[in-house]
Amino acid sequence: MTYAKYSASGNDFIIFHSFVEKDFTQDAIRLCNRTEGIGADGLVALLPCEDADFKWKFYNSDGSNAAMCGNATRAVAHYAYNNNLAGSKMKFLTEAGIIESEVTQDVVKTQMPQAKVIKEEFEQEGLTWYLIDTGVPHLVTFVDDLETYNHDLCAKMRYEHNANVNFAKVENGKIYVRTYERGVEGETLACGTGMVACFLRATQLKLVEDLAFVYPKSNEELTISIVDNKIFFKGAVKKVFTATID
């Protein structure tokens, strides 16, 4: 099999396409291993689909499934376009629904799923939280200093609420985010659905406008906007390498 490794703002993925649909759980565990495999935050298999250009099966590095991953949508769109699986404008099916993406050289813009508020503002562990589903559930808290991010606290909140955990800071109209991701069970360099969750909460609190620059742990610049009640997520992706593995 031939696999491509992609990085989307530091969030890395192993991507391949197949005409045979099966359970790729063990492939994800083996290939995402950073010491004995290729190493990645997740694995994505692209498969034929009657209602879209293709559909995906997404796996976290521990083999668990995720309905949606914002950064992966951008990486997958770039892969699909450059492997002639779709045009520069495409639609593909995820467990969170149909995703539309547009590729312009190495920059990809994705229309994200409509968000759903799971739990309004609440207090826990001395912080104010907000729980929202942006394709997958995310806890969001705003802090004055991102160094207050705490792995043990994130792990506790993650299991109690079955959600990813985001610490965010707004400064000069820009949003800075650190995210603890389910399935990875630790902090990742970027999380697209997490950044979108923080952006939506920031707009609700009137901390940013309907278009904002967002910076994850990798410090790469991404743009998130709301146009006609639709959410768009835009940023560069990078193909790291292609490998053929027996």
Closest CA to 237 of 24, 2, 1, 15: 15
DSSP symbol at 1:
-
CB 202 within 8 A of CB 219: no
Q: Is 191 a catalytic residue?
A: yes
Q: How far apart are CA 44 and CA 191, in angstroms?
A: 15
Q: How far apart are CA 180 and CA 183, in angstroms?
A: 10
Q: Is 69 a catalytic residue?
A: yes
Q: How far apart are CA 149 and CA 44, in angstroms?
A: 29
Q: Which of 32, 69, 154, 198 is catalytic?
A: 69
Q: Which two tokens stand for residue 115?
A: 């968000």
| Residue 212: CA count within 13 A, CB half-sphere | 27
| Residue 24: CA count within 13 A, CB half-sphere | 25
Please report the DSSP string for 2-60 in residue order. EEEEEEETTEEEEEEE-SS----HHHHHHHH-TTTS---SEEEEEE--SSSSEEEEEEE
Three-state DSSP at 221 gives: coil
Q: How far apart are CA 144 and CA 49, in angstroms?
A: 45
Q: Which of 32, 154, 191, 198 is catalytic?
A: 191
Q: Which two tokens stand for residue 37?
A: 């495999």
List the catalytic residues.
69, 191
